[in-house]
């Protein structure tokens, strides 16, 4: 634990502090998600009926695309001066580097979601019916699964010279279950006649996915990190 | 005591380091010399635990270096080609981050003291990204020393340093030597070798070709010995 | 002399390959005979139905090939033997080819059975995603850098790619039944239960034949990889010799 939780938190805090200093990644992600919202409203005429069908998909398109921007940077910032090598020789479990990065990446995406999703709802004049709790839970579970796989694959793709191109190609096919399940669950929760029980099976699927890939990331990260 | 046993590394089809058996005792300061591509850095990186050996063992005081032996890793200080430092952090923040990774107590004081020692006190609150190569190297040396390592591994520590910084570094190395720290240093700078080191290893084509004691040699002889060993084929 | 020996060693295909090869010829002819002449023509779909034997055979082989990738990826990470990496890579390539056959024959089947080229049917959709996953796997293998790095990263991806497959299948199946509840039933032709005995026999025979062909391809692929490796080693040796000659 001593060589696991502490380094993980240190790395996460280091990333958050660095981001606080520069505000490069999150600001870019925010601008990007605002552009996605605007582009969507041009591409699909946001009339009353269409909105309800559109919102769940848009929420996850914003999360996934803005998330990829952040994931691309996540390990690139550790490569300039081989800082990642510094972490490998440090007395820290390789999985703690993974955990730290997952936490930091999750927080970045969370900040983007916290600003862009309310903005989306306001611009499309959409009222969330009923309980916010389930919606937020689905948002958390889906994003977590996406970040788990994304962080692992980001560490894979930075070892290529064309990492920005490689990451989406690696990541999208693997996150299809998350995209399908999260969009469906969000659709059910945000429907006017929402019946939560229908979303449960989707949420179970997301939880299984989260667990499988969090554990996989944990176990496989040391192999990705080797020099 | 550091001991390697049949340590070798193959990258791609190329054998970078051929099986090396060598041991370093107590307060030795050992220079690793050799032409470019001799495998010096790879050898050092393997001892630091950065590169996984293709075969062979490394042991510290009879304990084999394993990937999950973190107490052993806490005792190794490693200066690489790259500084490992974060651009947007100040020297203090950089040292505190790495100090905490190594669980150093009173890390802020320790960081300040080291920044003093390498002569960067004036710049301690400037972000590192505006630093020159030499200043970065000074800070990188401080970073390697933050946790008072028992084994110090330096990869070309003198590159980019001015005359004053070189003498600071030599003082630092000599001070650690007195404390009983084992120092391994990959270098091309013969002057510094004769100034600070007690022993020199010469590598060529991934092999350890010579192992000599500096105290028994002057600079001329080290130089001629080196030339003779490297040229012969 | 040593070099020459090793060249000849690799130029002669192994005995195992020869046995597989000569075994495969009559069996493949037999399978073609069974499919096109012996087995009866299906009543509603006519000749097009015969594509089904190859469709199912390719699908089974694709999954099998990717399972082999998983097994040898794990073996590589544990043992770090180059041969495991080669087997995983060759198997992935063959798997992608079989997946492409599934994706090509699927729409032909769909067009004559349901009068639409593509349906988001769970098996077909999962196969499509599988295709993308292993294209990505091959992209990792084609990265620049030394083989150890590529093998390590590809192995990691080969493992998570395969454990993703059942989750994708579940997700797509639920999604499909939620969105298009009655586009098609649970394809009774594909369960095997509703098949004419002679059709079932032909199906099993073609699946077995294609598995044999898979192993033939695998053996050949490994052989080609080894040949390529040997060539690059010889080239490196020759270059080194030339450089040394010039230096002296």
| Structural domain span for residue C55 | 15-39+48-184+195-239
pTM of the predicted protein model: 0.91
How do the domains of chain A map onto residue ranges?
A: 2-225
* Residue B10, domain member (yes or no): yes
Ordered DSSP codes for B146-181: TT--SEEEEESTTTT--HHHHHHHHHHHHHHHHTT-
Residue C10 lies in a domain: no
Written as six digits, the tokens of A111 are 């900040």
CB contacts of C172 in chain A (<8 Å) are: 176, 180
pLDDT at B220: 66
Our CA-based measurement puts residue C130 at a distance from the nearest CA of chain A, in whole angstroms, of 8
B11 and C CB contact within 8 Å: yes
CA distance C171 to A140: 18
> Which pLDDT score is estimated for C1?
37
Measured distance CA(B191)–CA(A110) in Å, rounded: 55
pLDDT of residue C191: 43
Instruction: Determine whether the interchain pair C171/A205 forms a contact, defined as Cβ–Cβ distance below 8 Å.
Output: yes
Q: Is the pLDDT of residue C189 over 50?
A: no
Residue C106 scores a pLDDT above 50 = yes
Is residue A192 helix, strand or coil?
Answer: coil
Cβ contacts (< 8 Å) between B12 and chain C: which residues? 146-148
* H or E, element range at B204: strand B199-204
SS3 string of A111-133? HHHHHHHHHHHHHCCCCCCCCHH
Q: Quick one: tokens of C189?
A: 């032709």
Q: Do A170 and C145 touch (CB under 8 A)?
A: no
pLDDT score, position C180: 47
- State percent of chain B over pLDDT 90: 45
Any domain includes C248 = no
What's residue B231's pLDDT? 77
Q: Does residue C184 surpass a pLDDT of 50?
A: no
- A89:B78 CB<8 A: yes
pLDDT in the model for residue C185: 42
Q: Reading across the β-sheet that carries B207-213, which strands appear in turn?
A: B76-79, B151-155, B182-186, B29-33, B199-204, B207-213
CA distance C165 to C145: 29
Cβ contacts of C156 on chain A, cutoff 8 Å: 152, 156, 220, 223-224
Cβ C153–A202 below 8 Å, yes or no? no
Cβ contact B223:B190 at 8 Å: yes
Residues of B in contact with A7 (CB under 8 A): 101
Most confident option among A15-29, A50-64, B60-74, C32-46: A15-29
A neighbours by CB contacts (3+ pairs under 8 Å): B, C
Q: Which of B169, B151, B171, B145 is nearest to B159 (CA)?
A: B169
Total count of domains within chain C: 1
Whether B197 is in a domain gets the answer yes
pLDDT higher at C203 or C246: C203
pLDDT on residue B218: 64
Residue B99 domain-assigned (yes or no): no
- Residue whose entry in the numeric block shows the structure tokens 């998330």: A67
Integer Cα distance of C156 and C74 in angstroms: 8
Please, which chains are in contact with B (at least 3 CB pairs closer than 8 A)? A, C
Q: H or E segment at C55?
A: helix C51-79
Residue B86 within a domain: no
Specify the CATH number for the domain of residue B56.
Answer: 3.40.50.300
Structure confidence at residue B7 as a pLDDT band (50, 70, 90): very high
The pLDDT, as a whole number, for residue C10 is 58
What is the predicted pLDDT for the residue at C193?
Answer: 45
Q: Is residue C160 part of a domain?
A: yes
Residue C186: its pLDDT value, please? Answer: 45
pLDDT, averaged per 10 consecutive residues of chain A (227 residues), comes to 89 94 92 91 74 88 94 91 92 93 97 94 82 90 96 94 92 94 90 78 93 95 91
- Please give the share of chain B, as a percent, with pLDDT higher than 70: 97
Residue C123 in domain = yes
Q: What is the pLDDT of residues A140-192, one digit of tens each?
A: 999 999 999 999 999 999 999 888 899 999 999 999 999 999 999 998 888 87
How many separate domains does chain B show?
Answer: 1
pLDDT digit string, tens, across residues C194-214? 667 888 888 899 999 999 999
**Searching chain A, which residue's CA lies closest to the CA of residue C154?**
A156
Does residue B195 belong to any structural domain of this protein?
yes
**Model confidence pLDDT, tens digit, residues B25-57:** 888 899 999 988 889 999 999 999 899 999 999
B141-175 tens-digit pLDDT: 999 999 999 999 999 998 888 888 898 889 888 88
Question: Which of C144, C145, C156 has the CB atom closest to A224's CB atom?
Answer: C156
Does residue C197 or residue B104 have the better pLDDT? B104
**Touching check for B45 and chain A: CB below 8 Å?**
yes
DSSP H or E run through B21: strand B14-24
Whether residue B221 is contained in a domain is answered as: yes
Q: What value does the mean pLDDT take over residues B87-96?
A: 93
Asked whether residue C187 carries a pLDDT value surpassing 70, the answer given is: no
Q: Is A18–B48 a contact, with Cβ atoms under 8 angstroms apart?
A: no
- Separation in Å, CA of A3 to nearest CA in chain B: 7
- B128 falls within a domain: no
| Residue C4 belongs to a domain | no
Let me know: does B153 contact B79? Beta carbons within 8 Å. yes
C135/A160 touch (CB, cutoff 8 Å), yes or no: no
Average per-residue pLDDT for chain C: 84
Q: pLDDT tens, C3-20?
A: 445 555 556 667 778 888
Domain of B22 in residue numbering reads as: 1-75+154-160+186-232
Task: Give B226's contacts (C-beta < 8 A, 6+ positions apart).
Answer: B33, B190, B202
**In-domain check, residue B95:** no
- Choice among B100-109, C72-81, C170-179 with the minimum mean pLDDT: C170-179
Q: Does A212 touch chain C (CB under 8 A)?
A: yes
Please report how many Cα atoms fall inside a 13 Å half-sphere around the Cα of residue C239, on the Cβ side.
7
């Amino acid at each position: 634990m001593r060589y696991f939780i502490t380094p993980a938190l240190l790395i996460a805090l280091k990333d958050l502090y660095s981001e606080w200093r520069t505000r490069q990644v999150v600001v870019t992600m925010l601008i990007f998600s605002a552009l996605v919202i605007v582009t969507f409203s041009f591409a699909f005429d946001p009339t009353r009926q269409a909105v309800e069908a559109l919102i769940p998909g848009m929420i996850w398109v914003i999360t996934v695309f803005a998330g990829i921007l952040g994931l691309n940077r996540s390990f690139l910032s550790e490569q300039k001066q081989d800082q990642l090598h510094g972490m490998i020789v440090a007395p820290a479990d390789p999985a703690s580097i993974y955990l730290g990065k997952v936490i930091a990446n999750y927080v970045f995406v969370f900040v983007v979601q916290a600003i862009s999703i309310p903005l989306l709802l306001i611009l499309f004049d959409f009222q969330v019916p009923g309980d916010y709790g389930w919606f937020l839970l689905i948002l958390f579970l889906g994003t977590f699964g996406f970040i788990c796989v994304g962080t692992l694959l980001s560490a894979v793709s930075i070892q290529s010279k064309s990492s920005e191109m490689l990451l989406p190609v690696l990541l999208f096919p693997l996150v299809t279950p998350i995209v399908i399940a999260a969009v469906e669950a969000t659709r059910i929760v945000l429907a006017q006649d929402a019946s939560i029980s229908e979303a449960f099976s989707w949420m179970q699927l997301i939880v299984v996915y989260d667990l499988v890939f969090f554990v996989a990331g944990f176990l496989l990260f040391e192999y990705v990190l080797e020099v | 005591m550091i001991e390697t046993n049949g340590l070798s590394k193959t990258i791609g089809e190329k054998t970078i380091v051929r099986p090396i058996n060598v041991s370093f005792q107590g307060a030795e300061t050992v220079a690793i010399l050799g032409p470019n591509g001799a495998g010096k850095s790879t050898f050092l990186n393997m001892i630091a635990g950065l590169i996984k050996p293709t075969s062979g063992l490394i042991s510290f005081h009879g304990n084999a270096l394993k990937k999950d032996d973190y107490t052993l890793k806490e005792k190794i200080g490693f200066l690489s080609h790259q500084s490992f430092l974060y651009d947007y952090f100040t020297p203090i923040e950089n040292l505190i981050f790495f100090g905490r990774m190594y669980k150093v107590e009173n890390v802020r004081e320790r960081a300040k003291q080291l920044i003093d020692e390498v002569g960067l006190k004036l710049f301690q609150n400037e972000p590192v990204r505006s630093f020159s190569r030499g200043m970065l190297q000074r800070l990188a040396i401080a970073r390697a020393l933050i946790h008072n390592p028992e084994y110090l591994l330096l990869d070309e520590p003198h590159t980019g340093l001015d005359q004053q910084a070189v003498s600071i570094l030599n003082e630092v190395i000599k001070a650690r030597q007195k404390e009983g720290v084992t120092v391994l240093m990959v270098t091309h700078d013969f002057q510094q070798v004769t100034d600070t080191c007690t022993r020199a290893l010469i590598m060529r084509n991934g092999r350890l070709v010579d192992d000599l004691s500096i105290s028994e040699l002057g600079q001329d002889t080290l130089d001629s010995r080196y030339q003779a060993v490297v040229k012969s084929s | 002399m040593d070099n020459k020996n090793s060249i000849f060693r690799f130029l002669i295909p192994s005995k195992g390959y020869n046995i597989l090869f000569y075994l495969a010829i009559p069996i493949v002819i037999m399978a073609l005979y069974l499919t096109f002449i012996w087995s009866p023509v299906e009543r509603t779909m006519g000749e097009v139905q015969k594509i089904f034997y190859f469709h199912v055979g390719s699908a089974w082989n694709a999954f099998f090939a990717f399972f082999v990738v998983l097994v040898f990826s794990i073996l590589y990470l544990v043992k770090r033997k180059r041969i495991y990496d080669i087997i995983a890579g060759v198997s992935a390539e063959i798997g992608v080819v079989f997946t492409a056959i599934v994706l090509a024959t699927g729409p032909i089947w769909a067009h004559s059975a349901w009068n639409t080229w593509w349906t988001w049917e769970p098996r077909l959709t999962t196969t499509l995603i599988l295709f993308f996953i292993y294209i990505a796997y091959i992209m990792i293998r084609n990265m620049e850098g030394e083989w150890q790095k590529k093998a390590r990263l590809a192995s990691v991806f080969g493992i998570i790619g395969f454990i993703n497959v059942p989750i994708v299948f579940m997700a797509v199946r639920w999604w499909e039944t939620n969105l298009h509840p009655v586009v098609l039933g649970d394809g009774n032709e594909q369960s095997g239960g509703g098949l004419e005995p002679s059709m079932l026999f032909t199906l099993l025979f073609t699946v077995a034949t294609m598995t044999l062909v898979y192993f033939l391809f695998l053996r050949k692929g490994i052989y080609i990889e080894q040949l390529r490796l040997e060539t690059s080693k010889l080239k490196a040796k020759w270059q080194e010799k030339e450089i040394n000659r010039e230096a002296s």
